[in-house]
Amino acid sequence: MRLLLVGDVMLGRGVNEVLKCMPADYPWGDTLRSFLLSDWRVCNLECVISDRGAPWQTTPKVFHFCSDAKNIAVLRAAKIDAVSLANNHLLDFGYDAMFETLDLLDRAGIRHAGAGADLEAASAAAVSEVMGKKIGLLAFTDNQPEWAAGSHQAGVWYVPIDVADRRAQLVFDRVQKMRSQVDIVVISAHWGPNWGYEPPDEHIVFAHRLADLGADLVFGHSGHVFRGVEVYKNAAIMYCAGNFVDDYAVDPVERNDQSSIFLVDVISGRIKRLLLRSTMIRDCRAELAFGQDAFRIGSQMNRLCEAHGTAVRWYRDQGLLEIPVAFPDGKD
């Protein structure tokens, strides 16, 4: 079984304008084949999909991302199975837009985690059954504390990245509970500041705790640039997957237009390896990287992974990195 994970997918603003005259599969470019050949696909949805609402004004906010309701078809075109909604853009157009997004996803058969009508809903797992195995997704963010879901308040699952914080304990409890209910545990974390190729120390401590409690994959994002992958106790920790689709201006130093498709091969319910295929964002869509672009991305990711002690096999001619992950009995 092959899982596919990509980072931030932002379908608003310029991407939304392009989609007024381009087909629904446009944002995926030539990466679409990888989606269609995978068995389970997830991304962080970095916008609302809605025809309702108005830009958030209650607290200061510079960017507001919303994609037309019809663009739920973009996710369907790539056969997205689940999305993370715990991020700093889900309430960009208020609660009406958030609830329409939830409804559109439900009607499209796309599971979602990280937001809801209250904290119980926002912290609930999204469970998919694939090839006889259950995959559970939990999603939280340390962004936008004013959007935190509560016992009687809609919003996102807000969690400070501090293992001693009482709100973090709910994450740890949910991970332990889900470990006994599903075959593969995926934790989506929209965390930390923008920029920076190295994860903050508290992310490493937090991710290790998640793995200690049973997470198989920690799927980090939010930083705009990709960070290294660590293999820890047979879990794969993706500290930041970077941006996958957007219309953002490109920083010439910290290249927020560079990322990867993260492919996870699972055998007998356990992770065997990760394959990373380098990608670029051009003209509001994802494209496979080739030549010098693939070399630069691969070199950078290789260096970042090695800093975590991660063994990497690099197939330069394919723009592909392979990260072996051991089985629980210690065998590859």
231 phi/psi in degrees, rounded to 5: -100, 120
Q: Is the pLDDT of residue 326 over 90?
A: no
State in Å, rounded, how far the first CA of the chain is from the last one.
Answer: 16
Distances (CA, A) of 220 to 106, 131, 139, 303: 24, 25, 10, 18
| pLDDT of amino acid 331 | 40
Q: Is the pLDDT of residue 285 over 50?
A: yes
What is the crossing angle of helices 201-212 and 166-179, to 10°?
A: 40
Q: Is the pLDDT of residue 332 over 60?
A: no
Q: How far apart are CA 111 and CA 255, in angstroms?
A: 31
Rg (CA), the chain: 18
Q: How far apart are CA 196 and CA 187, in angstroms?
A: 21
Question: What's the CA angle centered on 178, arms 177 and 181, to 5 degrees?
Answer: 105
| Residue that is written with structure tokens 């970042």 in the block | 304
Contact 188, 139 (CB under 8 A): yes
Q: Which amino acid is present at 136? A: G
Residues in CB range of 331: below 8 A, 6 or more apart:
none
140: closest CA among 82, 61, 85, 177?
85
Q: How far apart are CA 278 and CA 297, in angstroms?
A: 6
| pLDDT of amino acid 216 | 97
Taking only the tens place, the pLDDT of each residue in 196-248 is 999 999 999 999 999 999 999 999 999 999 999 999 988 999 999 999 999 99
Q: How far apart are CA 15 and CA 265, in angstroms?
A: 31
Q: Is the pLDDT of residue 192 over 60?
A: yes
| pLDDT of amino acid 316 | 78
Q: How many CB atoms lie within 10 A of CB 302?
A: 18
Domain residue extents for the chain: 2-324
Residues in the chain: 332
Rounded average pLDDT over 59-80: 96
Q: How far apart are CA 69 and CA 180, in angstroms?
A: 36
- pTM equals 0.96
Taking only the tens place, the pLDDT of each residue in 88-143 is 999 999 999 999 999 999 999 999 999 999 999 999 999 999 999 999 999 999 99
Q: Token pair of 309, please?
A: 């002690």
Q: How many CB atoms lie within 10 A of CB 177?
A: 15
Q: Is the pLDDT of residue 330 over 80?
A: no
| pLDDT of amino acid 195 | 87
Q: How far apart are CA 11 and CA 217, in angstroms?
A: 25
Contact 161, 57 (CB under 8 A): no
Q: How far apart are CA 300 and CA 280, in angstroms?
A: 14
Could you tell me which CATH number the domain at 2-324 has?
Answer: 3.60.21.10
Q: Is the pLDDT of residue 152 over 60?
A: yes
pLDDT band at residue 193 under the 50/70/90 scheme:
confident
Taking only the tens place, the pLDDT of each residue in 22-53 is 999 999 999 999 999 999 999 999 999 999 99
| pLDDT of amino acid 76 | 98
Q: How far apart are CA 186 and CA 180, in angstroms?
A: 13
Q: What is the mean pLDDT of the chain?
A: 95
pLDDT band at residue 328 under the 50/70/90 scheme:
very low
